[in-house]
Amino acid sequence: MKSPRIIAVGSTRLPKLNAVREAVASCALLLDPSACFDVLGYEVQSGVADTPVSRTELMRGARQRAEAIIAALSAAPSQPSDFFIGVEGGLDVIDEPNSRRVFLESWAYVTNGRTGHFGCSGSIELPEALAAEVLDHGTDLSVAIDSFAGAVGIRDGKGAWGVLSSNLISRQDSFRLAVIAAFAPFYNLRMYSAAAAATK
């Protein structure tokens, strides 16, 4: 019988939780072939804006979500968690001469409480009209994308990723990739350890 291991996620939104479940299913045998993993969601604050507008802010939000779970669970008796995950979606703005390019990105931070690592989904470029609504007029991306797509509650489904990619990439897909990438130093420890040793 496989031993249970707990993964605590700093969100209760289904696209994020399902993304983590899919990511963990992909790398579970590499993480620990003798274990079964249970993903639990917790409502915590990221400490950043609802729509982060820089890579730095996205990474900070993901990390602070994971750290907030650690703090919350340490203050209340519960089943010990093996990993803590924060995921954050938002914008990264690249300034060019006389213009800007704005990209939607999803970031993840995975920690075992001692060491932690980041992963990113990749990027998809926003149309300038949508970027301007968020950056220049202060509209939250979830509200802006609903307005642009003529729908309600998009972020709880396909998300802005789905709208922009004609459903070839969903919000859940983007978070899944970010989590798999953030887990890499844990499930591919031999490679990361060898790389660290080679630089000494």
Distance separating alpha carbons of residues 149 and 66, to the nearest angstrom: 32
Q: What is the CATH number of the domain that holds 75?
A: 3.90.950.10
- Quick: pLDDT tens for 139-158: 999 889 888 888 777 777 78
Residue 50 buriedness (CB in 10 A; 0-12 / 13-18 / 19+): exposed
What pLDDT does 17 receive? 96
pLDDT at residue 198 above 70? no
What pLDDT does 152 receive? 74
What pLDDT does 32 receive? 92
Task: Count how many domains the chain has.
Answer: 1
Q: What is the pTM of this model?
A: 0.91
Share of the chain above pLDDT 90, in %: 73
- Quick: pLDDT tens for 17-75: 999 999 999 999 999 999 999 999 999 999 999 899 999 999 999 999 999 999 998 87
What pLDDT does 78 receive? 66
Q: Which structure tokens are listed for 122?
A: 């990749």
Domain that residue 140 falls in: 3-198
Q: What is the mean pLDDT of the chain?
A: 91
Distance of CA 100 to the CA centre of its chain: 24
Helix or strand run (H / E) with residue 119? strand 116-125
